[in-house]
Structures are given as C-alpha cells and as structure tokens.
Amino acid sequence: MEETYESDFDAAAAAYLAMNRGWVEVLQEIRDILQPSRLVVVRHEDRFKRLELLQHLVPQLDIDPLSEPRRSLNASATDRALLELQTIHRKGEKLTRMARRKLIKDWAHDRETLGLTEFTSRENKAFSIRYERDLERISQEPGMVLI
C-alpha cells in the first residue's frame, strides 16, 4: 500500500489468503536462480540483531569494531501515512523513493490505528497456519538452512 494504489484492502486481504504461492516458492526461486551453497532462512520471530546474525553467518569475523546501525532503513508507514500515500496514488501522482520516505517519516509520530490494514482474527489465524506450514517445508528443503 506504500507504493501502489489499493482501493479495497479487504479484497486485497482475500487475494493474499487465496494465493497458492508462499515463502517456500519464493525461496526456491531465489535458491534456483542464485544457486548458493546454502540459503540461510531466519524465522521472523527469532531474527537476530544485525551483528548477531553476521556473527552467526561468519563465525570467524571479529565484530567487536562494528556497531549496530543507528536507524532502521525499513520503516513501515503508519496508517495516517498510508492515507496520504493512497491519496497521492489515487490522483495518479508518483513519488520518488526519497519523497516517499520523507512522507513516511513525517507521519511516523502519528501511531493512531485507523484499521486500514488490519486483518480479521480469522485471516490472522489462516496466515499463522500457512506460516508454520511454510517453516516446516523450508526446514525440509534441500540447500536451505532454517535458523
């Protein structure tokens, strides 16, 4: 919703639920195209801080002189920012990446939930079941390591 016009989130949510392609298929495609010796996948809820992950992936690397980034480059838009972005997209206007980031930053303080992108409890349950099923499949995939 940050980069494209979405007129009906409920319909989009239904489309997401109906998708038959999930994380497993995306990762299979990445593996097949890049052909790495192994593809390391980190469970979202178990993700490391950046330096911990780097240390895990490259154990011999001395991370002492390194520091965590001061800010996240992947800030999600608040509902108010999404409203603004959708208004711009609806008009057919385009934003540069920097302008989009600025708008998201400008509205970051407004944390009011407007219900724009909330899934129902039933949808959340369906996504959770799919996620757990995908994790199980990923753990069995040749060339993939789930940590």
For residue range 23-43, list pLDDT tens digits in order.
899 999 999 999 999 999 988
Categorize the per-residue pLDDT at 3 as very low, low, confident or very high, splitting at 50, 70 and 90: low
Q: How many residues does the chain have?
A: 147
Residue 20: which pLDDT band, with cuts at 50, 70 and 90? Answer: confident
Percentage of the chain beyond pLDDT 70 is 91
Averaged over 62-83, what is the pLDDT? 84
| Boundaries of every domain in the chain | 9-74+118-146
Model confidence band, residue 13 (pLDDT cutoffs 50, 70, 90): confident
Count the neighbouring beta carbons within 10 Å of the beta carbon of residue 85: 22
C-alpha distances in Å from residue 70, one per residue of 39, 50, 73: 27, 11, 10
**pLDDT tens per residue across span 96-121:** 989 999 999 999 999 898 877 788 89
Quote the distance between the C-alpha of residue 39 and its chain's center: 18
Would you say the C-alpha torsion 105, 110, 112, 114 has a positive or negative sign?
A: negative
Q: Which of 41, 76, 73, 70 is nearest to 146 (CA)?
A: 41
